[in-house]
Structure 1
Amino acid sequence: MTETAAERYRELTALATAAGKEMRKHEREIAKELGEQVAKGNQRKEESEQTRDELVSEVKGLWKAAMQVVWDERWLRSSGVPAPDRSAPDATPMESRIAVHEAYDALRTAITKPRLPLGRRRK
């Protein structure tokens, strides 16, 4: 069975067409998967930004509360909310919340603890 050039050409173009269709189908599937990954990434980013904003708001609130606790301590000078410490170790938002609350509780305990009277002598 001898194949003519025209038959061989039709066979090859049919194979190329089928391969092209298969490749386009595969690319559409990959594009869909990538689109889903981008959407998930954007959602995670938005959730992270919301968590960050909530944490910043909470820290500012605790800072104001701390300033009220130390208001009567005239020797203790304070400015506004300090800048973030970039050298601090990485922590999850929950770990950060716990650390800030523990620091606030420690400050409140230290300030409100009864003090020994200094500068008074017994007679």
Structure 2
Amino acid sequence: MTEPSSAADAYREICGLVTDSVERLRERDEQRAQELRGELVAAERRREEAAEREHVTRWTARLRWEAAVEVLWDQRWLRMTPLPRPDRSTPYTDLEACGHEVDAAFEELRSTLQRRGLFRRRQQP
């Protein structure tokens, strides 16, 4: 800031500094807004992907449950129940890993039934 020759010059100089500062703040805010819009788009994409993974995992679990009921159908001693609801008390889990666990559990069930002679293929009429 230079020495103003009058009060009016001092006022103009201060107003110019304030205007420059406001303009720099606006530019910085606009840059930050653009960054946040980009982050928002990325977050929305991740949310959509997670929702799709959840849908696929639930569908896989339902199909495996129905397949398990089918292979156990002849076991009259075993009480069949509907597919249990998801356990919401468990911490966040990797849905892909859950799908693999469901597949592995079903394969273990099928393998156990085959080894023990409990699993018999139904005859097609």
TM-score class, shorter-chain normalisation, is 0.7 to 0.9
In structure 1, C-alpha distance between the alignment counterparts of 2:50 and 2:92, rounded to whole Å: 15
Does the C-alpha gap of structure 1 residues 58 and 23 become closer, same or farther in structure 2, counting only changes over 3 Å?
Answer: same
Higher relative contact order (CA 8 A, sep 6+): 1
CA contact 2:4–2:10 (8 Å) conserved in 1: no
Shift of 1:25: 0.6
Shift of 1:87: 4.9
Does the C-alpha gap of structure 1 residues 103 and 74 become closer, same or farther in structure 2, counting only changes over 3 Å?
Answer: same
RMSD: 1.9
% identical aligned pairs: 30
Aligned to 1:8: 10
Structure 1 gap ranges (5+): 117-123
In structure 2, C-alpha distance between the alignment counterparts of 1:2 and 1:61, rounded to whole Å: 82
Structure 2 gap ranges (5+): 119-125
Match of 1:74 among 66, 73, 76: 76
Amino acid at match of 1:100: V
Aligned to 1:48: 50
Does the C-alpha gap of structure 1 residues 88 and 13 become closer, same or farther in structure 2, counting only changes over 3 Å?
Answer: closer
In structure 1, C-alpha distance between the alignment counterparts of 2:90 and 2:16, rounded to whole Å: 63
Question: Which whole-Å deviations, capped at 9, do the CAs of 1:9-55 have from their partners, x for residues lacking one?
Answer: 11111111111111111111111111111111111001000000011
Shift of 1:112: 2.4
TM superposition score normalised by structure 2: 0.83
In structure 1, C-alpha distance between the alignment counterparts of 2:23 and 2:91, rounded to whole Å: 52
Aligned to 1:20: 22
Q: Counterparts in 2 of 1:59-98, with a 5 A limit?
A: 59-88=61-90, 90-98=92-100
CA contact 2:68–2:106 (8 Å) conserved in 1: yes
Shift of 1:2: 6.1
Match of 1:38 among 33, 37, 40: 40
Aligned to 1:58: 60
In structure 2, C-alpha distance between the alignment counterparts of 1:79 and 1:2, rounded to whole Å: 88
Aligned to 2:122: none
| Count of matched residue positions in the alignment of Structure 1 and Structure 2 | 116
